[in-house]
Structure 1
Amino acid sequence: MICPDLQSCEIEDVESDGLNAIQLIVGGDVDVVTTPHASLFMNRNAKDLKLPINELATYLWWRLNPAMEAVDVIGGKCVVMGPTSHGEPTDCTEPVIVLCGEMERIAKAIRASSP
Structure 2
Amino acid sequence: MYHTRVFRVSVIREKYGELVQMAKMQSLAFSNFLLVLRPFIIGTYLSDEIGQGFELLDTDKSDTIDVEELTAFLPVINPYLTAVMLLRYFSHIDENFDYKLNLNVLL
Instruction: Give the TM-score band, short-chain normalised.
Output: under 0.3
Q: Taking structure 1 as the reference length, what is the TM-score of the superposition?
A: 0.24
Higher percent of residues as strand: 1
Q: Give the number of the structure whose alpha-carbon radius of gyration is greater.
A: 2
Query: Which structure has more RCO (C-alpha within 8 Å, separation ≥ 6)?
Result: 1
> What TM-score do the two structures reach when normalised by structure 2?
0.25
